[in-house]
Amino acid sequence: MNNLLERFCEHDSSGGLSPELINAICNASEDELRQQFTRATPSQQVAVAVRASDCIRFHKTLAMLSRGMVIHLFYLATPELSRAEQIEIMAKETGVQRTQQYRCRDSFIYMGRPLLKEPNLASRFVTESVNRLSQPSTPETARYESIKRARAGEIIVTEIADSIIAAHLPELTASVSSNTDPLQAACSVEADTQLNATLLIRCDDAASGEDDANATHHNRRRREPDIETIKAMDQKRHEIDEFKASRDYQLGECIHQDNAVQVFVRSVNQKSAPTAEAIHYAIQQAYRKLCHSNPVQAIVADTLEPSR
């Protein structure tokens, strides 16, 4: 216990703290920790800061990548569910909300495999750097360079990740420009929003009069929509409003009602009332979906006997 401070300073924390060191810290009382660590020399204070940073980066980055991996596997394993249902189930069971699910999943897809296989390498990336490098618009060469520099011992903080991405964006622009159809009017490639940069690639042979229509909202003025476009949009909105207000958009026939719920059914084609067989099948499928999203409640519901 007397050399706990020295052990912590000398420990290679790039792969997290060892179980033995964690046990030693947890077994020490608060007074014992204070007595040792408040006597740290300036060099030991620097070492403690470095070890703490290494551990935090290691655990946060690996946790994010691991979450992304299992979320990705869950999405793949439940193709019968819509993406909204998959997100809702994960949010309910884990507390990871929609935006974070997408960020974690992208981090695994684009950066997870090399970093999870080399945990010491993952400890050299801060989580926000991984998030930015995992953007689908980030060039693959930028990710390769970041991993190469991390293997050389460099800590990839947010500023370094931004500079790497910015340095490789012109390469992506040139690559897309060389493959662009000459008849295409314009195409835009958006960089990470944190960089606040948008590149616009245009073709010289585009048809006249349409060049300004695709200008980016960051650096160019938007062209005002013409009168015909506005009229068409208004007409479409009017048709949608009329459809929602029509009888055909009503909930349908109420087949069950009690003090808690009402159950409505309607035919998809709305030309005739649904048959008893169709209603029975629909209720079975809806119940299975509810059981999948609420497994605990489903177990309780299966124990209830239906009223006669």
pLDDT tens-digit profile of 62-106? Answer: 899 999 999 999 999 999 889 999 999 999 988 999 999 999 999
In a shared domain, residues 139 and 288? no
Q: What is the pLDDT of residues 113-146, one digit of tens each?
A: 999 998 888 888 999 999 999 998 899 999 999 9
For the residues 268-273, what does the mean pLDDT come to?
A: 66
Report percent pLDDT > 90 for the chain: 24
In a shared domain, residues 150 and 279? no
- The answer to the question of residue 232 being in a domain is no
In a shared domain, residues 30 and 157? yes
Q: Reply yes or no on whether the pLDDT at 11 is more than 80.
A: no
DSSP 3-state of 188: strand
pLDDT, mean over the chain = 75
CB atoms within 10 A of CB 161: 25
The domain boundary, picked from 167, 201, 234, lies at 167
- Collect all residues with Cβ–Cβ distance below 8 Å to 172 and sequence separation of at least 6: 139, 189
Give 286 or 94, the one with higher predicted confidence. Answer: 94
- The answer to the question of residue 236 being in a domain is no
Report how many domains make up the chain: 3
- The answer to the question of residue 174 being in a domain is no
- The answer to the question of residue 228 being in a domain is no
- The answer to the question of residue 230 being in a domain is no
Nearest to 123 by CA among 100, 160, 151: 151
Q: Which domain holds residue 262?
A: 252-302
In a shared domain, residues 79 and 191? no
In a shared domain, residues 115 and 156? yes
In a shared domain, residues 192 and 143? no
In a shared domain, residues 155 and 47? yes
Give 86 or 258, the one with higher predicted confidence. Answer: 86
On whether the CB atoms of residues 2 and 46 are closer than 8 A, the answer is no
Strand partners, 199: 189
In a shared domain, residues 161 and 92? yes
In a shared domain, residues 41 and 112? yes
CA distance 258 to 174: 65
In a shared domain, residues 191 and 130? no
Burial 271-307 (b: 16+ CB within 10 A, else e): eeebeeeebeeeeeeeeeeeeebeeeeeeeeeeeeee
Q: What is the pLDDT of residues 37-56, one digit of tens each?
A: 888 888 888 888 888 888 88
In a shared domain, residues 71 and 200? no
pLDDT of residue 111: 92
CA distance 163 to 154: 14
- The answer to the question of residue 121 being in a domain is yes
- The answer to the question of residue 172 being in a domain is no
pLDDT of residue 282: 81
pLDDT of residue 156: 92
Four-residue CA torsion sign, 240, 241, 247, 252: positive
- The answer to the question of residue 11 being in a domain is yes
Q: Reply yes or no on whether the pLDDT at 307 is more than 60.
A: no
In a shared domain, residues 187 and 274? no
